Each structure stands twice: as structure tokens, then as C-alpha cells.
Amino acid sequence: MPEVAAAAQTAASMDKNLLVAITMGFGALVPAFSIGWMGSKAMEAIGRNPEAANRIQTPMVLAVAFTEAIAIYSLVVALIIKFV
């Protein structure tokens, strides 16, 4: 009977690790895509109107910082899943 309990615990641990991997993968992929898209659009805007570079850069940097915060939230959720 102890073998069954050990197998069930191993399966639960594997499920938890898979969930952590999916959480971190999705939580890193989406913000990375968003940051790339924002940078691309900002470069397009600066290319069209170079005089507005300072007015474009400041909101873009703020948006990138908030997007990075989403990736950090994903890390926190993954750690909670892993250790709870």
C-alpha cells in the first residue's frame, strides 16, 4: 500500500511542476510579446515624427515597466503553486 501513496504523491508533484512550467511560460511569453510590440510601434512613431521622440519615449517606458510587473506577478503565482 505505501507504493500506491508514493505513486500518487509523485503524480501530484509532476502535475504541480507542469502547472508551474505553464504559468511561467505563459507569464513570460505574453509580456515579452507585448514589450516587443510596444517597442516596434514606438520606433515607427519616432520614425514618422522624430521631434516627438521624448513625448513617445516616456509613456513607452512606463508601459514597459507595467508589463514587466505582470511577468513578476506570474513568477509569484508560480512560486505559490510550487510551494503551497
- Tens digit of each residue's pLDDT (9 = 90 or more) over 10-55: 777 888 999 999 999 999 999 999 999 999 999 999 999 999 999 9
The helix/strand count (H/E) of the chain reads as 2, 0
Which pTM was predicted? 0.76
Question: Is the four-CA dihedral 30, 36, 39, 41 of positive or negative sign?
Answer: negative
Q: What is the pLDDT of residue 2?
A: 64
Question: When comparing pLDDT for 8 and 18, which is higher?
Answer: 18
DSSP state of 50: G
Helices 2-48 and 53-83 cross at an angle (nearest 10°) of: 180
Q: Among 3.90.1150.10, 1.20.20.10, 3.30.930.10, 3.10.110.10, what is the CATH number of 2-83?
A: 1.20.20.10
